[in-house]
């Protein structure tokens, strides 16, 4: 059984900002140094200061990206830049973006998800994680006492029982990449109960955010040890939950796009030419750049392949 709950979200106060578009940012792990600086310059309240702060040569245990994130968070709450909702809610969240001449819309909601070991089978992973990113996110979580980034989970509901029509209090913004974001609180008791009913009968799959999920689980265990609550029931403490966006696997806006990776020469003698030669053992390479896009656009089953470009 998957346990999801509404919560009192901590949100930006539009009255304190020139534009909501100035304070949003992509997920922390895809932000380049150049983009980080651009987000810093965009607004003194951009969320990048919380999720991926800039380092300095004078950083120490008492003055670091983690302590500065904590200080920014506390200052923004005190000044009213961030305000906490009075009523617990799930939050509907739709994203729309251009794709091949059409507009694609992905629908879903944000709620808090009870963290459990993967062995329970309630939350399912699909990739291995690395220690470095988890240590970084755990330090941020411990220092700020907050979960600043949601994970991304998939649930299965072919009947599409949950209605994602934006509510009357919806907030809209368009980010720098042209994606439109629509966000609204869901507080109706019937809708809240329906969301919980749909998800409690199944497991959810992590689509993105494995490091953040495992970090939230480690943080929960750490807090239980700190607070002497290791014997309390699972889900009985606020820190037994993490923030998650949920979308239906039957949603028409669910997309998986190609990933672009860069292969550089390796000290062991690997280079681009040797890599291509190795592919002949398992693939049928075709060296015809003019036909690549045509091949990708032609309907075929299965429609899978890799494109390599030598710079």
- The residues facing 106 across adjacent strands are 95
Provide the whole-model pTM.
0.86
Between CA 178 and CA 98 the distance in angstroms is 8
Looking at the chain, how many residues does it have? 311
- The residues facing 104 across adjacent strands are 97
- Residue 188: other Cβ atoms inside 10 A: 12
- Residue carrying the six token digits 């939050």: 91
pLDDT of residue 307: 65
- The residues facing 184 across adjacent strands are 92
Between CA 164 and CA 91 the distance in angstroms is 10
Residues 136/51, Cβ–Cβ less than 8 Å: no
Element of type H or E holding 218: helix 210-227
pLDDT of residue 79: 98
Q: Where are the alpha helices (DSSP H) in 238-299?
A: 272-279, 289-297
pLDDT of residue 296: 64
Q: Residue 153 is encoded by which pair of tokens?
A: 């989970």
Instruction: Note down pLDDT in tens along the chain; length 311 residues.
Output: 899 999 999 999 999 999 999 999 999 999 999 999 999 999 999 999 999 999 999 999 999 999 999 999 999 999 999 999 999 999 999 999 999 889 999 999 999 999 999 999 999 999 999 999 999 999 999 999 999 999 999 999 999 999 999 999 999 999 999 999 999 999 999 999 999 999 998 999 999 999 999 999 999 999 999 999 888 888 889 999 999 999 999 999 998 887 777 766 666 777 767 777 777 887 777 676 666 667 666 766 555 666 666 65
3-state SS string for 11-79: EECHHHCCCHHHCCCCCHHHCCHHHHHHHHHHCCCCCHHHHCCCCCCCCCCCCCHHHHHHHHHHHHHHH
């Amino acid at each position: 059984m998957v346990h999801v709950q509404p919560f009192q979200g901590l949100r930006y106060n539009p009255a304190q900002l020139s534009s909501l578009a100035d304070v949003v940012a992509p997920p922390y792990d895809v932000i380049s140094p150049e983009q980080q600086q651009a987000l810093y310059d965009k607004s003194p309240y951009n969320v990048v200061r919380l999720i991926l702060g800039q380092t300095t040569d004078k950083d120490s245990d008492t003055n670091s990206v983690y302590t500065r994130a904590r200080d920014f968070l506390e200052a923004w709450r005190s000044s009213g830049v961030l305000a906490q909702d009075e009523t617990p809610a799930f939050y509907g969240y739709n994203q729309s973006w251009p794709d091949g001449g059409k507009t694609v819309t992905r629908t879903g909601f944000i709620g808090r998800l009870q963290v459990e070991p993967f062995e329970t089978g309630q939350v399912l992973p699909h990739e291995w994680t690395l220690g470095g990113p988890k240590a970084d996110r755990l330090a941020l979580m411990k220092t700020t006492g907050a979960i600043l980034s949601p994970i991304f989970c998939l649930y299965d509901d072919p009947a599409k029982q949950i209605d994602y029509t934006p509510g009357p209090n919806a907030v809209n913004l368009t980010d720098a990449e042209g994606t439109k974001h629509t966000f609204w609180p869901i507080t109706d008791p019937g809708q809240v109960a329906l969301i919980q009913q749909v998800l409690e009968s199944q497991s959810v799959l992590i689509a993105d955010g494995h490091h953040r999920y495992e970090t939230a689980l480690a943080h929960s265990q750490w807090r239980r040890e700190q607070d002497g609550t290791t014997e309390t029931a699972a889900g009985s403490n606020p820190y037994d939950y993490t923030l998650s966006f949920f979308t239906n696997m039957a949603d028409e806006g669910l997309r998986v796009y190609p990933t672009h990776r860069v292969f550089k020469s390796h000290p062991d003698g690997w280079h681009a030419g040797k890599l291509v030669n190795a592919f002949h053992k398992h693939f049928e390479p075709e060296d015809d750049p003019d036909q690549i896009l045509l091949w990708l656009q032609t309907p075929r089953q299965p429609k899978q392949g890799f494109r390599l470009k030598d710079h």
